[in-house]
Structure 1
Amino acid sequence: MIKALLFDFDGTLLDTNDLIIRTFMHVLEDKFPGQYSPQDCIKFIGPSLKETFEQIAPNEIDEMIANYRLWNREHHDELVTEFDGVITTLEQLKNEGIRLAIVSTKTRDMIERGLNVMGATHLFELVVGSDDVQHVKPHPEPILFALEKLGLQKDEAIMIGDNSHDIEGGKNAGVRTAGVAWSLKGEDFLKQFNPDYMLHHMTDLFAIVKEP
């Protein structure tokens, strides 16, 4: 029986796609003028900043992460929006006794900032950010950490996200997984990783949590 839903944040609950792409473009244009397009930046959504910048400029990782975070913080609130039906669905799930948590590769302070923008801080019992663990998804650590904090067994939770890291992380941790069809990378991309469920709207969760 499902007792808890573990959500990725960016691209799953909060539409940060425009913010992330524009932030990457700001950082990359500064270092590599004309070499990257917004389309190129889609593949950077999901992995940690460290993983991404290790591939792009292994000798300048810290500087590029700092530049990314500075611009991202400055423009965050104006460039993010809630996906359709997120708040109303989460409120109803919580009222029905489903426990809600966030497991993200974002830093905790930026997750909390996004929750404030959404007006959703009160809905989540637990927030696990990249600074709470040593390894981020697809490593199982963040998900197992969340289960431990919530006092739950693996068969009592679902990991929900918009990226391969979320599905692979869930599978590595031994929990059920759900992809979101509104992922910027597309439903077909997520299907490659064989999630147990595919959400076409947040309200699809009502039927899933009622399953035995």
Structure 2
Amino acid sequence: MLKLLIFDLDGTLGNTLPLCIASFKKSIEPLAGRVLSDKEIIDTFGPSEEGTVQALIPEHYDKGVEDYIMHYRDLHAMCEAPFEGIVDLLEWAKEQKIHLAMVTGKGKRSTEITLEKYGLQSHFERIETGSPIGPRKAQGIANVLHHLDISPNEALYIGDAPSDVTASREVGVPVIAAAWAETAEPGQLKALDPDQLFTGVTEFRHYLSQQLA
């Protein structure tokens, strides 16, 4: 029986990946004294934003982090709201007495900014954020399960990246590939054999309704 939905944030709840990249460029390029490609930034993903700053400009770490947070907040109008249907989905899940949690690779400060902008601060019972040291989604998912006392087969993880599929598999949680963002790569996700792949939020909600029927 489904008792818990665990959501990723970037590219799953909202189209925030372009915002992240723009914020990195604004904050890191002046300190690095050069232009960064999107790929160079994306290749550092896994750790939180602090890890990206450490990887690209370790000699300017403190200023790089503070500048990133400043630009992330200032540029958030790039994605003012969650994906269409997300808020309704979360409200519907709460009405069905399904627990809601979030496990994201984002740092705590940027996560709080986005949840505040989206008005979702109170929707999640447990939030696990990323680490500058390295990926920790599998540990975050395990922590949520332990905290809420829910078995892996009673949960679903919903994420847009291949690493979301592998992290969920690591802890035995069924995984939904969320391919509704413009930045999603459905082919890569499908190749990892997620339990389901959806290209729209409405389609995913219909699937959940069927599971609960």
Q: How would you bin the TM-score normalised by the shorter chain?
A: 0.7 to 0.9
* Alpha-carbon distance between aligned partners in 1 of 2:113 and 2:55, rounded to the nearest angstrom: 28
Decide whether aligned partners of structure 1 residues 185 and 74 sit closer, same or farther in structure 2, where only a CA change above 3 A counts.
same
Residue aligning to 2:169: 171
Q: Superposed, which structure 2 residues align to 1:60-209 within 5 Å? A: 60-76=60-76, 78-80=77-79, 81-130=81-130, 136-138=135-137, 140-183=138-181, 184-203=183-202, 204-208=204-208
AA at the equivalent of 2:157: M
**What is residue 52 of structure 2 aligned with on the other side?**
52
- Which is worse superposed, 40-49 or 78-87? 40-49
What is the count of residue pairs matched by the alignment?
A: 209
Change (3 A) 1:181 1:120: same
1:15 matched to which residue of 2?
A: 15
The DSSP-based 3-state class of the residue aligned with 1:123 is coil
Aligned 8 A contact 1:199 1:205 in 2 = no
CA distance in 2, matches of 1:45, 1:4: 26
Distance 1:168 1:41 in 2: 21
> What TM-score, normalized to structure 2?
0.82
What's the offset of the Cα at 1:100? Answer: 1.0
Change in Cα spacing, 1:137 to 1:126, as seen in structure 2 (3 Å) is: same
User: Any idea what SS the aligned residue of 1:145 has?
Assistant: helix
TM-score by length of 1: 0.82
* Distance in structure 2 (CA, Å) of the matches to 1:163 and 1:201: 15
* Conserved 8 A contact 2:20-2:72: yes
CA deviation string 1:156-206 (max 9, x = no partner)? 111111122322211111111111112414211322333211121123134
- Deviation of 1:70 after TM superposition, in Å, equals 2.9
Does the Cα contact within 8 Å between 2:11 and 2:184 map onto a contact in 1?
Answer: no
Q: Does 1:25 align with 2:25?
A: yes
| Structure 2 spans left out of the alignment, 5+ residues | none
> What residue identity is the alignment partner of 1:194?
D
CA distance in 1, matches of 2:56, 2:122: 38
Q: Which moved more, 1:48-57 or 1:78-87?
A: 48-57
Cα distance in 1 for partners of 2:161, 2:153 equals 21
Consecutive unaligned residues of structure 1, counting only runs of 5 or more, are none
**Distance in 2 of aligned mates of 1:130 and 1:174:** 20
What CA distance in whole angstroms lies between the structure 1 residues aligned with 2:66 and 2:193?
A: 35
Query: 1:31-82: CA deviations, max 9, x gaps?
Result: 3445323465444555422443454345544443333223223333x22231
